[in-house]
A and B are shown apart, each in its own frame.
Chain A
Amino acid sequence: MNAPLRRVGVVVMVLFGLLFANLNWIQAYKADEYRNSDYNGRVQVAEYERRRGNIEAGGTAVATSKETGGKLKFQRSYPAGTKYAHVLGYKPVNLGDTGIERLENDFLAGTSDALLGNRIKDMFTGDESGGGNVLLSISKRAQDTAYEQLRNNRNGVKKGAAIAIDPRTGAVQALVSMPSFDPNPLVDHDTNVASAAYNKYEQDPDGPLKNRALSEVLPPGSTFKIVIAAAALENGVGKDTEIPAGPSWTPPTSGTEIRNAAASICPEAQVTLMDAVTESCNTGFAQLGVKLGADTVKEKARQFGFEQGDLTVGQLGEGGLPVAASRTGDMQNPDGGTDPAALAQSSIGQNNVRMTPLQGALIAGSVANKGRQMRPYLVKQLLGPDRTTSYYNAQPRELRQPVSGQVADDLRDMMVSVVKNGTGSSAAIDGYTVGGKTGTAQSAPDRPDHGWFIGFALDKNGNAVSAVCVELEQAGSGGSAEAARIGGKIMQAAIADAGGR
């Protein structure tokens, strides 16, 4: 009986060997993955040992940490509540983090490589200096205005977004998505409270957690005419060239005729390109688009930033809040050739054309900035825990040049005319030259139209100081005029904050 006993001894050793191998797998190979898992509460206990840095906009802390005396030493709080929710995101105990809180987590928590020297210094001095601070590019006044104006819009619209950027640098001046949410209950240390709040927001049919300014795409309506006008200007059409218009136009091979928004708009057989933009002449642009061809239209849109799926807004290096790709969409017949009816509809921003509010602001911004489109960013500076050492400073970077300076000047003149003489008059700002383009986009036959406004403001020297895009979802009649009014207010606030006037 001794031989089997010895073999049993070997069996036990094999079993323990399996345990040992498996523990190696878990505690060595998978250790990092498990240690940093979203489900791992330990990470947080350690994370909450150090005071998390502030996120600030215009010198005011919009995300900060308070000492609690509990197991988790610090409680995150967002003094501005719902106002900055889509920029900041939130840093909860038991849920996934989002926004700038997620993006700059390592720096805010003080665990980034950049702050290593700081941590070592703390070890010797015994201080707890906490995490670093993130300074946003957001203009406090513009953000306040965007939030208040959107929330109290005169059309009573519940869903929409507004974004303002500095066309010269790409700095985001305001970013609001409506409806918004309060991040404070989401970061409650009582995970039941946090989960309940999250579920409430998550199940809300209006989608308050959604960042509409960056990630919602809607048909842009007439704002897309700027892209068509840019293509036309590059293909032998001048701003005073007469183009075919008329009260209605039926594209070849199509039974549906394209009409203008009102009978008073471009009933003449021919109007100048300038007038077509100013009045927002549908028949003119439909014919223009079909004449230019689908490839030219798509290529011009792509040069403005359409189809880019990997743009992010955060720091100017890697990473950032993801931006949904704007699309020109399908304009083809089943046989593969261009469908003139679809192209005509696409040329006035309908059919399958979809655009994010950010893309709208980028179009307006590049027109105002002499054809140069700057990469948008939200993080202006990373400031160490001591508030004196700077770890990052945004160096504005050109993203692309959609149009030449000459074409940009012509587009600018036409957009200025829209605000001076046309549909965008409510965006005007005293002492500044404002240009823009309104848009009214059909969403579905039985739903009210979306209202859009893209625009820019130039100071006395012709420098672009702000570009904006406001979108009011299913705003109905008068939606684009209200969007223009809000756009003007936001730019006015951004100018005032920068010390203009």
Chain B
Amino acid sequence: MARSRRNAELSLLALAMVLVAAYGAIVEANLLDTVTRDFWMPAAALGLVFFGMHLVIRWLAPFADPALLPAVALLNGIGVGFLRRLDLGKAAPADRETLAIFAGTGGRQLAWTLAAVILAAGLLVVMRDHRAVSRYAYTLGLAGIVLVMIPAVLPGRFSEINGAKLWIRVGGFSIQPGEFAKLALLVFFAYYLVRKREVLSLASRRVLGIDFPRGRDLGPVVGVWLISLLVLVFEKDLGTSLLYFGMFVVTLYIATERVSWLLIGLVLFFGGAYLAYVLGGTVGGPFANFYTRAEIWLDPFAEPYDRGYQLVQGLLGLGSGGLFGSGPGAGEPLEIPEVQNDFIFAGIGEEIGLFGLTALLVVYLLVVERGLRAGLAVRDSFGKLVAGGLAFTLGLQVFVIVGGISKLIPLTGQTTPFLSAGGSSLMANWLLIAVLLRISDAARRPVAQGGGPAARPGGGPPEQLHGAPTEVIRP
């Protein structure tokens, strides 16, 4: 079991980059009617960046899960490739063949990828043991809340894009603090719950066969619920609110193993969302935006050129792609407004079809399940909660945005992890992956090696991990 599987990671990474290069070639064949001699350059640049990350993992986290990096690299590469495809589509036909690799949104995304991967590698360097992070839990929790609240309190012109107040805009530069806040808040949740899990899971009252917690223990969950509703109302975004609340409830559930928390969470959330919808329809005011979005979701074709335009165009794009898609570069993703951000999945979906999108979903699922697996295998409660919470949050975010653009749930202003254009989202998600890599390294590191975070005095055979006693961190 002591195999590090780093070579498997490297070959999978190479395969991912071949796919990205092939994608670029097909895009050029469809858009330029020829494949330029430089078609491989963006893929090679990305490959170089990811290879650097691979080396860092080899050095600092040799036992990390070998599937994480290649899977994420593939998503990130397809994202860059698609954004470059959009640039090519926008450029005049005469200029297309000479489009530089760092030009346009695609080029900027390439640069952001470099920055994000460096940041992730930096986190691996700094954070040699994930448990050390718990020391800064309160600081991170405070920072998280501040980051969440900044856009809400900023005037609209500094924080609002397309009706969602999720941004800090300074000059031509904008960051989405919520993307980072979710990492910070999760670390805080995990730490808090590890300390409180006994009281939360034991003290209870039994009603209808389900153990319900005591009233006073409900404090924190009600607090987070209020915060997420405030986010919903003041940042006008259901997705972010759903994301934070889901993240908290699920970590709570993992920590306490009590289904009642899930039930309470679901009832609170859907009750709150329904209340906001009703209030939006009657009172309006701060709830009006949410009401509008819900109305669009219920019938986007009611105002196909007006409020429902973006969703309608996204759906038509997906539908036009059909089962097999038009082929990379052969569709018309630019028909969809803002296709480089929220609607990137619809834009890609038109060109790679249901089969391609299913493959992308499976890659996301792979990343999420690998993250959960790291949580299963790691031995400390804090690590379990952080890995499980992060992995679930990533999955939930994919669900929220892909569900939103495909009219499964009301549309919200979330980014699609690793695909959407934008540095904040990319950096935050790469940091998330770095944490998962670190925890999976701790989980898979053989005890015999000694000196590792999970090493036990005296060594001995690798033990059965499932059901192993979990340790509780004392501050």
Q: Footprint of B on A, CB under 8 Å?
A: 1-6, 8-9, 11-13, 15-16, 18-20, 22-24, 26-28, 30-35, 37, 39-43, 45
Residues of A within 8 A of B385 (CB): 1
- Whether the Cβ atoms of B376 and A16 lie closer than 8 Å is no
B322–A31 CB distance below 8 A: yes
Whose C-beta in chain B lies nearest to the C-beta of A191?
Answer: B305
Is B317's CB within 8 Å of the partner chain A?
Answer: yes
Q: B403 — nearest CB in chain A belongs to which residue? A: A19
- Roughly how many angstroms separate A290 CA and B364 CA in the complex, as a whole number? 82
Q: Does B384 contact A (CB under 8 A)?
A: yes
What are 27 sample pairs from A and B whose C-beta atoms fall under 8 A apart?
A1-B388, A2-B467, A4-B253, A4-B254, A8-B250, A9-B372, A11-B250, A12-B391, A12-B392, A13-B369, A18-B403, A19-B399, A19-B406, A26-B318, A27-B354, A31-B321, A31-B322, A35-B320, A37-B319, A39-B304, A39-B305, A39-B312, A39-B316, A40-B319, A41-B332, A42-B320, A43-B320
CA distance A31 to B313 in the complex (A): 13
Question: When the two chains form their complex, are residues A19 and B361 in contact, meaning their CB atoms are under 8 A apart?
Answer: yes
In the complex, what residues of B have CB within 8 A of residue A12's CB? 365, 368-369, 372, 391-392, 395-396
Contact status B332-A28, CB under 8 Å: no
Cβ contacts under 8 Å, A32 to chain B: 319
**Contacts beyond the supplied A9-B368, A23-B406, A26-B406: 8 A-B pairs with Cβ under 8 Å:** A2-B376, A5-B375, A8-B254, A8-B388, A9-B369, A23-B349, A24-B354, A35-B322
| Neighbouring B residues of A15 by C-beta, 8 Å | 395-396, 399
How far apart sit A3 and B384, CA to CA, in the bound complex (Å)? 12
Cβ of B396 and Cβ of A27 under 8 Å apart? no
Name the residue in B255, B395, B467 with the highest tally of chain A Cβ atoms < 10 Å from its Cβ: B395
**Beta-carbon contact of A1 and B384 below 8 Å:** yes
Q: Determine if A35 and B319 form an interchain contact, defined as CB atoms under 8 angstroms apart.
A: yes
Q: Given that A15-B399, A23-B349, A42-B335 are known contacts, is A30 also in contact with B319, CB under 8 Å in the complex?
A: yes
Q: Name the distance in Å between A46's Cβ and chain B's nearest Cβ.
A: 8
Looking at the assembled complex, report how far the CB atom of B445 sits from the nearest CB atom of chain A, in whole angstroms.
18
> Quick check: A1 and B254 within 8 Å, CB to CB?
yes
Say yes or no: A1 contacts B257, CB within 8 Å.
yes
A8 contacts across to B, CB distance below 8 A: 250, 253-254, 372, 388, 392
A35 contact set on B, CB distance < 8 A: 316, 319-320, 322
- Chain A residue numbers with a CB within 8 Å of B301 are 39
Nearest-CB residue, chain B, relative to A18: B408
CB-CB under 8 A from A42, the residues of chain B are 316-317, 320, 331-332, 335, 350
A24 to B313: give the CA distance in the assembly, Å: 17
Judge if B470 is at the interface, Cβ distance under 8 Å: yes
Residues of B in contact with A, size category: 35 or more
The reply to whether A16 and B354 form a contact with Cβ atoms under 8 Å apart is: no
A16 and B361: CB pair below 8 A?
Answer: yes
Q: Which A residues touch B388, using CB under 8 A?
A: 1, 5, 8
The answer to whether A5 and B254 have CB atoms under 8 Å apart is: yes
Instruction: Decide if B200 is an interface residue (CB 8 Å cutoff).
Output: no
- Separation of A19 and B385 alpha carbons in the complex (Å): 25
Q: In chain A, what residue has the closest Cβ to B395?
A: A12
Shortest Cβ distance from A420 into chain B, in angstroms? 58
| Alpha-carbon distance A43/B316, docked complex (angstroms) | 10
Interface assignment of B187: CB less than 8 Å from any CB of chain A: no
Chain B residues within 8 Å of A34, by CB = 315-316, 318-320
Q: Nearest residue in B to A3 (C-beta to C-beta)?
A: B257
Closest to A21 in B: B408
Contact B316 A27, beta carbon cutoff 8 Å: no
| Inter-chain contact B319/A31, CB cutoff 8 Å | yes
- The 9 residue pairs across chains A and B that have the minimum distance between CB atoms: A34-B319, A27-B354, A12-B395, A31-B322, A40-B316, A42-B332, A15-B399, A22-B408, A4-B254
| Cβ contact of A2, chosen from B250, B253, B364, B466, cutoff 8 A | B466
Asked whether, in the complex, the Cβ of B255 is within 8 Å of the Cβ of A1, the reply is: yes
The answer on a CB contact under 8 Å between A27 and B319 is yes
Complex CA gap A18/B372 in Å reads: 20
A28 to B375, CA, bound (A): 36
> Per-residue 0/1 for B401-439: is the Cβ within 8 Å of any A Cβ (1 yes, 0 no)?
011001110000000000000000000000000000000
Q: Are B304 and A23 in contact (CB under 8 A)?
A: no
A30 proximity list for chain B (CB < 8 A): 315, 319
CA of A3 to CA of B361 in the docked complex: distance in angstroms? 25
A40 cross-chain contacts in B, Cβ below 8 A:
316, 319-320, 335
Complex CA distance for A334 and B395, rounded to whole angstroms: 70
With known contacts A34-B318, A39-B316, A16–B399 Cβ distance under 8 A: yes
Q: What are the residues of chain A within 8 A of B357 when measuring CB–CB?
A: 23, 27
A16 to B372, CA, bound (A): 15
| Residue of B365, B381, B403 contacting most chain A CB atoms (<10 Å) | B365
Q: Which residues of B contact A23 (CB under 8 A)?
A: 318, 349, 354, 357-358, 361, 406
Q: Does B62 belong to the interface (CB within 8 Å)? A: no
Closest-by-CB residue of B relative to A22 is B408
Nearest CB of chain A from residue B471's CB, rounded to whole Å: 11
